[in-house]
């Protein structure tokens, strides 16, 4: 076996160094064991500056290490770029291109049955709407959609105290599509009917009360009331206030939105000539302007 040091040129050829009769060095190409290749005589002598020092480590080992290190750096760079791309994609999808999402199971409502026992009807007052994630500049528009959901009951009328009513809330599909709203969860809850009044013996009784000490009938202020029990509905888009007394100066108890139903038990004309209806809405009894109900 050849004990001479083996080198590697820039083309990957292995060789060792020999000297001619004039003391000039030349390359002898060989295999990894130092065995000269057949075409060694055809190799031209090289200048001494190309001959590595005797104590220098094998160059081909160093070059192989450099090549391995280069491949490792390139591989790491590719992996880093790929990870940044994936992170960028998910970051954009989650934070910049995310759809608005709401969970309708988070609705908070007040269930009320109104009317007389055996003829009651269900009603719902929305107390709190669900929070919408990723709503951005659509938040107010989506909140309006959530304030007006589709509410259905498994029993619509003929309710008695103690009956069970299942309430389901859904969001209209066309409204969700309009704002690209993703609806999650489900609202389907059962409530017990309470608070229905006993069925009255008489439906209509007309009474007139004089509120003036004057004996002149031409200018007297009459407080006229009559019983009139039926379901009525709010007309104005702005809603109608439920007041403690039949006048616009009394305390506001709550407000019923357009389309909401109230149960009327009495009609009264106040001293200003205004007709007011005594109604029950969401478990509270008070007065509403009769001309704002149909």
The whole-number average pLDDT for the span 167-190 is 93
At residue 232, the pLDDT reads 93
The whole-number average pLDDT for the span 9-20 is 88
The whole-number average pLDDT for the span 132-137 is 88
Interatomic CA distance for residues 98 and 91, integer angstroms: 10
Alpha helices by DSSP H, 137-221: 139-147, 173-178
Interatomic CA distance for residues 200 and 79, integer angstroms: 82
Q: Is the pTM of this model over 0.85?
A: no
At residue 201, the pLDDT reads 46
pLDDT tens, position by position, 76-113:
888 888 888 776 666 655 555 689 999 999 999 999 88
| pLDDT band with cut points at 50, 70 and 90 for residue 142 | very high
Closest by CA position to 226, among listed 290, 292, 294, 284: 290
Q: Is the pLDDT of residue 128 over 60?
A: yes
Residue 193 near residue 162 (C-beta atoms within 8 A): yes
Q: Is the pLDDT of residue 119 over 50?
A: yes
Average model confidence (pLDDT) across the chain: 80
Interatomic CA distance for residues 167 and 189, integer angstroms: 5
At residue 272, the pLDDT reads 87
Alpha helices by DSSP H, 160-252: 173-178
The whole-number average pLDDT for the span 33-52 is 58
Backbone angles phi, psi at 82, to 5 degrees: -65, -45
Closest by CA position to 59, among listed 3, 6, 131, 125: 6
The whole-number average pLDDT for the span 243-270 is 93
| pLDDT band with cut points at 50, 70 and 90 for residue 64 | low
């Amino acid at each position: 076996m050849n004990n001479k040091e083996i080198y590697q040129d820039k083309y990957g050829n292995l060789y060792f160094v020999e000297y001619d009769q004039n003391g000039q060095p030349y390359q002898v190409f060989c295999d990894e064991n130092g065995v000269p290749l057949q075409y060694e005589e055809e190799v031209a002598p090289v200048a001494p500056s190309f001959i590595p020092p005797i104590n220098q480590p094998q160059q081909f080992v160093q070059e192989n290490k450099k090549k391995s290190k280069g491949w490792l750096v390139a591989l790491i760079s590719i992996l880093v770029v790929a990870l940044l791309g994936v992170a960028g994609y998910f970051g954009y999808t989650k934070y910049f291109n995310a759809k608005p999402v709401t969970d309708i199971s988070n609705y908070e409502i007040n269930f009320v049955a109104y009317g007389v026992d055996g003829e009651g009807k269900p009603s719902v007052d929305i107390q709190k709407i669900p929070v919408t994630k990723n709503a951005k500049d659509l938040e107010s528009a989506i909140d309006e959609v959530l304030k007006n959901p589709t509410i259905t009951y498994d029993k619509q009328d003929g309710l008695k105290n103690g009956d069970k009513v299942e309430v389901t809330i859904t969001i209209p599909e066309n409204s969700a599509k309009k704002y690209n709203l993703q609806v999650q969860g489900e609202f389907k809850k059962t409530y017990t009917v309470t608070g229905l009044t006993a069925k009255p013996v008489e439906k209509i009784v007309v009474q007139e009360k004089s509120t003036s000490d004057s004996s002149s009938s031409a200018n007297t202020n009459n407080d006229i009331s009559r019983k009139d029990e039926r379901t009525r509905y709010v007309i104005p888009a702005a809603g109608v206030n439920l007041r403690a007394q039949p006048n616009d100066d009394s305390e506001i108890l709550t407000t019923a939105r357009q389309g909401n139903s109230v149960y009327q038990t009495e009609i009264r004309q106040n001293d200003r000539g205004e007709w007011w209806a005594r109604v029950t809405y969401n478990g509270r009894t008070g007065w509403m302007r009769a001309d704002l109900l149909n």
